[in-house]
A and B are shown apart, each in its own frame.
Chain A
Amino acid sequence: MITVRDLTRRFGPHTAIEGLSFHLEPGEVVGFLGPNGAGKSTTMRILSGYLPATSGSAEVAGFDVLRSSLEVRKRIGYLPESVPLYAEHRVEEMLDFQGRLHGLSRSERRTRIPRVLERAGIADRSRAIIGGLSRGQRQRVGIAVALLPDPQVLILDEPTSGLDPLQRLEMRKLLVELGREHTVLLSSHILPEIEAVCPRVIILSKGRIAADGTKDDLVRSLGGGARLRLEAVVGPDVAAAVRLLKALPGVGDVRERGRLGIHHVFEIPCAQDLREDVGALANAKRWAIRELSWQRPSLEQLFARIALDLPGEPESAEPAPSAAPAASASVQLEVSAQLATKPPPQVRPLSPFESAPAPAPTSTPTSTPAKIVYNLNPFDMGASRDLSKPKPIDGPGAPPKEGT
């Protein structure tokens, strides 16, 4: 429905987009993502026929946007970022004007205008003067105007900017609905929106396509770096716990991240969700778990990484599961035997001091008064220490004060 080949647009010495190529099938809903100035609006303007490209070509519904501009314009509903509406007119007059521009007959206009107003959720303000509408209402009128000619392609430039959270939610619902009938290309720099609405995402950065694919594709191909986090009381022999964890199928590497109070923290890079297995192991070994979570990098993190031009995280290099040491095979067997023969009780009263380790401080608290910092991050070291006392700066390995 939309085919873009090698599109480049320069404004004087400034290159807005360079060498853009992508293709949209009919019925696809694609989100343009990128920081401000990445070239989203420029691309959309070229597709809508407002701006010509410096080089390259773009086709919408089989028509070249430069050569058959009018044919293209008949087939797209374009909502620019500024939501251009005549402030002195009433909402229905604006829609009537749009209907006439698109050559709709009087009867068509009469039936379609109330319908699109209903659709955009602004039917109750059809007699209102546009200049007096709020930003969110104007946005809806803009959507209604774009929808009126029932275009094959909808190009919406930041349709949710300026809306309050509730309106944003409604807009998202509307966009999902529109995606069922139209080919939709929408842009945003708000990620949750794109994630919620668009199955496919094109990330632009500095005028180039940085990534193009479904969200899962992107996360997989760019991010990797999914990891499992385990915080549990594993007893004094941490090395043994690491060995056990390493023995699980699919686990290549286990990183010990020190202690939080009586809990040890482990991070396990793994492509799949291994919470079941780790949980079962912990249950079998009677480790008291405080946290067991599987974290994948969100689109947001990926986006930030691309936008800021950061290299991929070092953790993203996934070690092959086969890298598990062969020596641990027996341990693995032992674990699975335990799992099979002795199904542990589902709920077990957590007594944190049951297997409280003998105090083995990783760093001895110095007698000199430590430099005091107040850490406001609730997820960092918070719960394991006496909150009434400041935390020494010695780092995560510092043993709880009350223990010493």
Chain B
Amino acid sequence: MSGAWTIYRRELSGLFLSPLAWVLLCNALAFNGFFFVLSVQGLGGDVLQSMSFLLGGSYTFWMLVVLLPPLLTMRMFSEEARTGVLEFLLTAPVTDFAVVLGKLLAATTLMAVLWSSAFVYGLALAALGAPPDWAPLVSGVCGATLVSALFCAVGLAVSAMSNTPLLAAFFATIANAAILSLPFLDALLALPPGSPLRVALGHANVITQFQASFVVGALDTKHVLFFLVWTGFFSFVATRVLEARRWW
């Protein structure tokens, strides 16, 4: 695991040394801020509602969650495969899973930095005399980070499959959107109520899983586990793809 930690440190500094991360952060923050102001105005000054919009209550949040992680992870394997650094990493005395884990944590950390900007809004509101509800804020940031980890893992798995970063980002975005829209299959297939597939799809609904706990300020282990398990699954897929690369 010390290997994963080493790679995490390297990846994080690599992310912050590249202009891409700063451009993404800057744009996302500007977008978030703009949207927050709009929603505060549109809701007639309902600060609590606006805060929940910012962290999972609105489609703009899900758009960012679907779009940003692929852009962060797209280069992590595909670019390295092209420059040959992957050969260095895969011949270093660390397991493939440690490599994936380190990269996943680094991308997730950057997303966490982005979401924790919500605290700035909270502090600004508190300074203006309208203190927000801190518990949903904290749980919202934690939840947003967990969701981001899931989509980062998807992005890594796709990045490991491709040698072209842009292609990796494109397909990862599609995969993320597909995961988010899994529950719509239910209506599309017109499944009878109570059918096992329908139940399964209901359980696979990322948005409701998220909104049932993190948005309302309740940390339910069931939902935490849901995101952790799926993140773990896609990390496993990424590791396997990385391993399979050696055979190509």
> Footprint of B on A, CB under 8 Å?
11, 45, 48-52, 70, 73-74, 76, 78, 80, 82-89, 93, 97-98, 100-103, 145
A48 to B89, CA, bound (A): 11
> Which of B10, B14, B93, B248 is within 8 Å of A102, CB to CB?
B93
Q: Tell me whether B91 and A97 are in contact (CB under 8 A).
A: no
Residues of A with C-beta under 8 A to B91: 48-50, 73, 76, 78, 80
Which of the four size classes fits the interface of chain B? 20 to 34
* A74 contacts across to B, CB distance below 8 A: 93
- Decide yes or no whether B222 CB sits under 8 A from chain A: no
Contact B84 A84 (CB under 8 A): yes
B125 at the interface (CB under 8 A from A): no
Of A11, A51, A70, A145, the residue contacting B95 (CB under 8 A) is A70
A97 to B17, CA, bound (A): 15
A86: chain B residues within 8 A (beta carbon) = 10, 14, 85
B92–A101 CB distance below 8 A: yes
- How distant is A72 from chain B, measured CB to nearest CB, in Å? 9
Contacts of B9 in A (CB 8 A): 100
Q: Is B46 interfacial (CB-CB < 8 Å)? A: no
Q: Contacts of A97 on B, CB cut-off 8 Å?
A: 6, 10
List residues 1-50 of chain B with CB under 8 A from any CB of chain A: 2-3, 6-7, 9-10, 13-14, 17-18
Question: Assuming the A-B contacts A51-B246, A73-B92, A101-B6, are A80 and B18 also in contact, with contact meaning beta carbons closer than 8 angstroms in the complex?
Answer: no
Determine if B191 is an interface residue (Cβ-Cβ < 8 Å): no
B88 adjacent to chain A (CB < 8 Å): yes
The CB with the most chain A CB atoms within 10 A, among B7, B13, B18, B93, is that of B93
Give Cα A376 to B61, complex, Å: 76
Q: Whole-angstrom distance between the alpha carbons of A334 and B114 in the complex?
A: 100
Q: B59 to chain A: which residues have CB within 8 Å?
A: none
How many Å lie between the Cα of A51 and that of B95 in the bound state? 14
Chain B, residue nearest A76 (CB): B91
Q: Check B14 against A80 for contact (C-beta < 8 Å).
A: no
Which residues of B (82-116) have their CB < 8 Å from a CB of A? 83-88, 90-95
17 contacts between A and B (CB under 8 A): A49-B90, A49-B91, A70-B93, A70-B95, A73-B93, A80-B88, A82-B83, A82-B87, A83-B84, A85-B88, A87-B83, A93-B13, A97-B10, A101-B3, A101-B94, A102-B93, A103-B93
Given contacts A82-B84, A88-B18, A102-B93, 6 further A-B contacts (CB under 8 A): A50-B91, A76-B91, A84-B85, A85-B88, A101-B94, A145-B88
Contacts of B88 in A (CB 8 A): 80, 84-85, 145
B83:A89 contact, CB within 8 angstroms: no
Distance in Å: Cβ of A80 to nearest Cβ of chain B:
5
Question: Which chain A residue lies CB-closest to B247?
Answer: A52
